[in-house]
């Protein structure tokens, strides 16, 4: 099981996401699976990112709602980096 570390920007993103009326329970379900080291369902399209986001991973909570995270295997940490829409994260 991984310990969770939350980046400050993730906290801001989470507040914005909640204000948009997104179902935060969906996000918590994915985080719980990642924390336990479980694979996500195929529908979430979990994949590693490239470029400036490397070595982070991304998955789709909903079609235009993403979660970006990283792992620190040395410290057994799941690092929550960002969440939001494609335009929030990549524009």
Q: Express each pLDDT in 23-61 by its tens digit.
A: 999 999 999 999 999 999 999 999 999 999 999 999 999
Q: How many domains does the chain have?
A: 1
Q: Is residue 88 part of a domain?
A: no
For 16-29, how does the pLDDT look when each residue is reduced to its tens digit (9 = 90+)?
999 999 999 999 99
Q: What is the CATH number of the domain that holds 38?
A: 3.30.2310.20
Q: Would you call 86 a catalytic residue per the annotation?
A: yes
**How far, in Å, CA of 3 to CA of 88, rounded?**
26
Q: Is residue 58 part of a domain?
A: yes
Annotated active-site residue in 44, 47, 60, 86: 86
Peptide bond into 32 cis (omega under 30): no
How big is the chain, counted in residues? 91
Distance, CA of 80 to CA of 61 (rounded, Å): 14
Query: Taking the complete model, does pTM exceed 0.75, yes or no?
Result: yes
């Amino acid at each position: 099981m991984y310990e969770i570390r939350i980046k400050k920007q993730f906290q801001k993103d989470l507040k914005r996401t909640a204000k948009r009326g997104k179902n935060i329970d969906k996000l918590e379900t994915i985080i719980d699976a990642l924390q336990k080291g479980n694979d996500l369902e195929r529908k979430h399209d979990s994949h590693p990112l490239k470029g400036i986001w490397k070595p982070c991973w991304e998955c789709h909570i909903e079609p235009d709602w993403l979660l970006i995270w990283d792992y620190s295997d040395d410290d057994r940490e799941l690092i929550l980096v960002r969440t939001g829409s494609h335009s929030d994260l990549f524009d």
